[in-house]
């Protein structure tokens, strides 16, 4: 296996399977599409911090390194590159009260939410497999702090006629070093995905039509 390339040097094809890769080059939105009207997008490349005065907002410096939905209420964004079985490593940061999501293959959502301090997380909290299963523990950090997901995902299988023969499986979901899920089958996609169709390979999508959010260090590795 090749070593992980720096974000700003990664070169992508539309389908990645063999080597570690990142769909975000760290400096602009090349290689990404919006779900919905592009002019409504709040996405940019920059460096985000939680606003010191309005802690439900993000302040963005116009340099590089992070994929930032600055204001929320815009559109979702998804990669041109597509993936099947993979390990997704993603760091995420939300301001106070914010809400977003990570859609593996563009169709299966892991919730991103400010759930810090909640005693018993539910199906809409940080780390939930939205509409399928709440996280077993609340591993959320404070709003404004970076948090790391590690998602081990097995794509659904299809026969030669396109009929699904096995469901997608979240083999493991880890947040900030704590295991949230193991071997959870997804009999169908989450509402709000790229096109609502299950497939053998799909993009990574980040929800941008809810609250402000930032992502960085997006690394995708083949699942062995």
CATH number, position 169: 2.60.120.560
The mean per-residue pLDDT over the stretch 133-142 comes to: 98
Closest C-alpha among 107, 52, 92, 122 to residue 211? 92
DSSP 175-203: ETTEEEEEEEEESSPPTT-SSS---SSB-
Q: Does residue 36 form part of some domain?
A: yes
Residue 67 pairs in a beta bridge with 45, 215
Q: Does residue 1 form part of some domain?
A: no
Q: What is the pLDDT of residue 17?
A: 41
* Between 161 and 1, residue with greater pLDDT: 161
Q: What is the pLDDT of residue 19?
A: 52
Q: What is the pLDDT of residue 96?
A: 96
Closest C-alpha among 147, 148, 122, 146 to residue 134? 122
pLDDT interval class at 52 (50, 70, 90): confident
Q: Whole-angstrom Cα distance, residue 51 to residue 59?
A: 5
Q: Does residue 2 form part of some domain?
A: no
Q: Count Cα neighbours of 34 within 13 Å in the Cβ-side half-sphere.
A: 15
Closest C-alpha among 185, 206, 190 to residue 109? 190
Q: Whole-angstrom Cα distance, residue 192 to residue 56?
A: 24
pLDDT tens-digit map of 54-73: 999 999 998 879 999 988 88
Mean pLDDT of the chain: 90
pLDDT tens-digit map of 186-208: 999 999 999 999 999 999 999 99
pLDDT interval class at 3 (50, 70, 90): very low
The mean per-residue pLDDT over the stretch 17-35 comes to: 84
Q: How many domains does the chain have?
A: 1
Which pTM was predicted? 0.89
Assess whether pLDDT exceeds 50 at residue 4.
no
Assess whether pLDDT exceeds 50 at residue 74.
yes
Around Cβ 136, how many Cβ atoms within 10 Å? 14
Assess whether pLDDT exceeds 80 at residue 42.
yes
The residue whose two tokens read 């997704």 is 88
For residue 124, the 8-state DSSP code is T
Which domain does 19 fall in, by range? 7-222
Assess whether pLDDT exceeds 50 at residue 117.
yes
* Between 62 and 34, residue with greater pLDDT: 34
Q: Does residue 196 form part of some domain?
A: yes
Q: Does residue 127 form part of some domain?
A: yes
Q: Quick check: 128 and 140 in contact, CB under 8 A?
A: no
């Amino acid at each position: 296996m090749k070593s992980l390339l720096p974000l700003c040097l990664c070169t992508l094809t539309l389908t990645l399977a063999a080597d570690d890769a990142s769909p975000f080059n760290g400096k602009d939105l090349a290689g990404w599409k919006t779900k919905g009207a592009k002019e409504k997008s709040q996405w940019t490349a920059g460096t985000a911090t939680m606003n010191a005065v309005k802690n439900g907002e993000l302040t963005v410096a116009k340099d590089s390194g992070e994929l930032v939905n600055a204001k929320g209420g815009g559109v979702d964004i998804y990669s041109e590159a597509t993936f099947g079985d993979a390990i997704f490593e993603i760091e995420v940061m939300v301001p106070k009260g914010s809400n977003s999501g990570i859609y593996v293959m563009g169709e299966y959502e892991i919730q991103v939410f400010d759930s810090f301090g909640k005693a018993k997380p539910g199906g809409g909290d940080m780390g939930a497999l939205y509409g399928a299963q709440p996280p077993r523990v609340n591993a959320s950090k404070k709003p404004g702090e970076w948090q790391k997901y590690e998602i081990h995902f097995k794509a659904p299988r299809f026969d030669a006629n396109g009929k699904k023969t096995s469901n997608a499986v979240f083999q493991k979901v880890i947040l900030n070093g704590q295991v949230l899920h193991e071997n959870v089958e997804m009999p169908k996609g989450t509402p709000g995905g790229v096109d609502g169709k299950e497939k053998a390979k799909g993009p990574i999508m980040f929800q941008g039509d809810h609250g402000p959010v930032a992502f960085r260090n997006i690394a995708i590795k083949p699942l062995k």
